[in-house]
Amino acid sequence: MPASITDLDIHPRLDRPALRNVIAPRRPLWSPTDLRDLTSAVATILAAPLVDMVRFSSPQRWWSRLAVTDEIELWLLSWLPGQGTDPHDHGGASGSFTVLLGELAETFRYPAGPIRNHLHCAGESIGFGAGRAHQVQNVGTAMAASVHAYSPPLVPTREYVSLRNVPDEIPALPIQRGA
């Protein structure tokens, strides 16, 4: 049975009707397009409180979970110049991110596909399917922040030495309840 709208786990600084409405339970899994629309809406509707909430830290990047439901999890991440992720997939979850501040470079690959690069600027959103592995980095000189969503929620990431090491199939990992 899906969670009721009152059972949503939402960050206390963002618990407001606007966020509750966009993450309300509606289906077992969200598509990459749904997730892209979600991160775009959250970054637009809640831009001021998100910018107020974001923190920048070194050497480790800062992040905060904004919300989790039975269908999605939503995060705010910050990126100082030069900070980035190792190559990783999302354990079989679909995902999305919208750049709130600055710009982020993404190098990505689907299994058996070519390695590609894309620069995402403030306001841009991307949704991706469960089979995508990527590496995200702030290659600019300004601080960056982004809103991320995943469905299903609470699935661990799997890291790679290089995107060239992504297998021909990315199997789903189990959900980590209580995370």
Average pLDDT, integer, range 11-26 = 88
**Structure token pair of residue 60:** 């480790």
Tell me the per-residue pLDDT of 139-155, one tens digit each, with 9 for 90 and over: 999 999 999 999 999 89
Average pLDDT over residues 10-27: 88
Domains of the chain in start order, with CATH, are 10-149 (2.60.120.10)
The mean of the pLDDT values for the chain is 91
What was the pLDDT predicted at 39? 98
Handedness of CA 23, 27, 29, 30 (dihedral sign): negative
pLDDT tens per residue, range 54-78: 999 999 999 999 999 999 999 999 9
Please say if the pLDDT value at position 2 is more than 80.
Answer: no
pLDDT in tens, 85-143: 999 999 999 999 999 999 999 999 998 899 999 999 999 999 999 889 999 999 999 99
Query: What is the end-to-end Cα distance of the chain in Å, rounded?
Result: 20
The token duo for 16 is: 């407001």
Find out whether 3 and 71 touch, Cβ atoms under 8 Å: no
pTM of model > 0.85: yes
pLDDT tens-digit series, residues 29-62:
899 999 999 999 999 999 999 999 999 999 999 9
Pairing of strands 125-128, 73-79: unpaired
Q: Specify the higher pLDDT residue, 118 or 175.
A: 118
User: How many C-beta neighbours within 10 Å does residue 63 have?
Assistant: 17
Name the token pair of 121.
């600027």
Which residues on neighbouring strands pair with residue 102, listed in sequence order? none
- Report residue 177's pLDDT band, with 50, 70 and 90 as the boundaries: low
